């Protein structure tokens, strides 16, 4: 750190999508529409699962938790962005920025874990159907969700505490529309070696581990589907998994681009676009494949 340049910065300035003032109404309308679709779609799934006794199974239990997390996930960023556009004030104070980062990381990791347990649930359902009700008991499902919440909270707390030890001196501009973890670490003028190591290690551990579990589950699922004799049976088994796998692919590809791609490239525009995909587009798309391709959900909604 440069001697005499240790003044702490108490405010941050998210810059993504804010360079051109004439585009602000269009951006406001677009993000407001996506936010309302996300909240409404996921809320309908939660209401359908909670009100229909036929949907009180492990698959829909995890789906309702995913919908709740997606609502919270988008609510940590988009409302603040919309308020900033309306008030023409892009500044977020230090406490607000770290708080936003904490909840964004919390719900992002929860999404990751829920995708994994949903893949495991599909694996047990298709590969071990006779033992499904025994393996995926309500107590086991609740325990999986509880462990996911605790792990996500501890990870978010660790990252937040590591950020609090940093000093932000001169450049407070964040090339995103929210306070993103790796971008905030890059803005610090104090030593960030420990922060970067933790970010990359935890990204590999909490990202790569669940991803390996998802890939393993679906490799076994594909093998089981190929062994089904009837074409109708193959289609039914595949349709229950294709929607989940498509959303998981979008989430992982974009989040990996944001958290690990910064080590390779420093393109702020591409990173901001990827962050929009996994923080806004993925939660918005989640309700559609699960409801449009699912007769039980459509029946409950009717």
Q: Is the dihedral of CA 67, 72, 77, 79 positive or negative?
A: positive
At residue 3, the pLDDT reads: 41
Residues 207 and 256 sit within 8 Å (Cβ to Cβ):
yes
Higher per-residue pLDDT: 237 or 216: 216
Measured distance CA(256)–CA(241) in Å, rounded:
22
Orientation of helix 138-164 relative to helix 94-127, angle to 10°: 150
Residues 136 and 58 sit within 8 Å (Cβ to Cβ):
yes
Residues 252 and 211 sit within 8 Å (Cβ to Cβ):
yes
What would the pLDDT profile of 58-107 be if each residue is shown by its tens digit?
A: 888 998 999 999 999 999 988 988 887 787 666 777 788 888 889 999 99
Domain chopping of the chain, boundaries: 11-301
Cα 296 to chain center, whole Å? 25
Residues 6+ apart with CB under 8 A from 53: none
Examine the pLDDT at 234 and tell me if it is beyond 50: yes
What would the pLDDT profile of 239-267 be if each residue is shown by its tens digit?
A: 667 767 777 877 777 676 665 555 444 45
Helices (H), the chain: 24-51, 58-75, 78-87, 94-127, 132-135, 138-164, 181-187, 193-203, 209-226, 231-259, 268-276, 282-285, 287-292, 295-301
Q: What does pLDDT average to over the chain?
A: 80
> CA–CA distance from 186 to each of 190, 270, 286 (Å)?
10, 16, 31
Residues 138-167: what's their mean pLDDT?
92
At residue 136, the pLDDT reads: 92
Higher per-residue pLDDT: 30 or 207: 30
What is the percentage of the chain residues whose pLDDT exceeds 90? 23
CATH class of 11-301: mainly alpha
């Amino acid at each position: 750190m440069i001697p005499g340049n240790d003044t702490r910065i108490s405010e941050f300035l998210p810059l993504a999508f804010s360079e051109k003032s004439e585009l602000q109404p269009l951006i406001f309308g677009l993000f407001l529409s996506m936010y309302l679709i996300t909240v409404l779609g996921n809320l309908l799934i939660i209401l359908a699962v909670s009100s229909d006794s036929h949907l009180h199974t492990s698959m829909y239990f995890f789906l309702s938790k995913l919908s709740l997390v997606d609502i919270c996930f988008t609510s940590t960023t988009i409302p603040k962005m919309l308020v900033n556009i309306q008030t023409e004030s892009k500044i977020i104070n230090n406490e607000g920025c770290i708080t936003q980062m904490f909840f964004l990381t919390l719900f992002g990791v929860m999404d990751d874990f829920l995708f994994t347990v949903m893949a495991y649930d599909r694996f047990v359902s298709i590969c071990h159907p006779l033992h499904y009700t025994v393996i995926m008991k309500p107590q086991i499902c609740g325990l999986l969700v509880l462990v996911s919440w605790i792990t996500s909270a501890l990870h978010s707390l660790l990252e937040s505490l590591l950020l609090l030890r940093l000093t932000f001196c001169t450049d407070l501009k964040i090339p995103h529309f929210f306070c993103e973890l790796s971008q905030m670490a890059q803005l610090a003028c104090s030593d960030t070696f420990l922060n970067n190591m933790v970010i990359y290690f935890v990204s590999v551990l909490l990202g790569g581990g669940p991803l390996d579990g998802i890939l393993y589950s679906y490799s076994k699922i594909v093998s089981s589907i190929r062994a089904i004799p009837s074409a109708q049976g193959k289609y039914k088994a595949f349709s229950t998994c294709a929607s989940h796998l498509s959303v998981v692919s979008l989430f992982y590809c974009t989040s990996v681009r944001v958290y690990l791609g910064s080590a390779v490239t420093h393109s702020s525009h591409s990173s901001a676009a990827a962050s929009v995909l996994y923080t806004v587009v993925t939660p918005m798309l989640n309700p559609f494949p699960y409801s449009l391709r699912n007769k039980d959900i459509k029946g409950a909604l009717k």
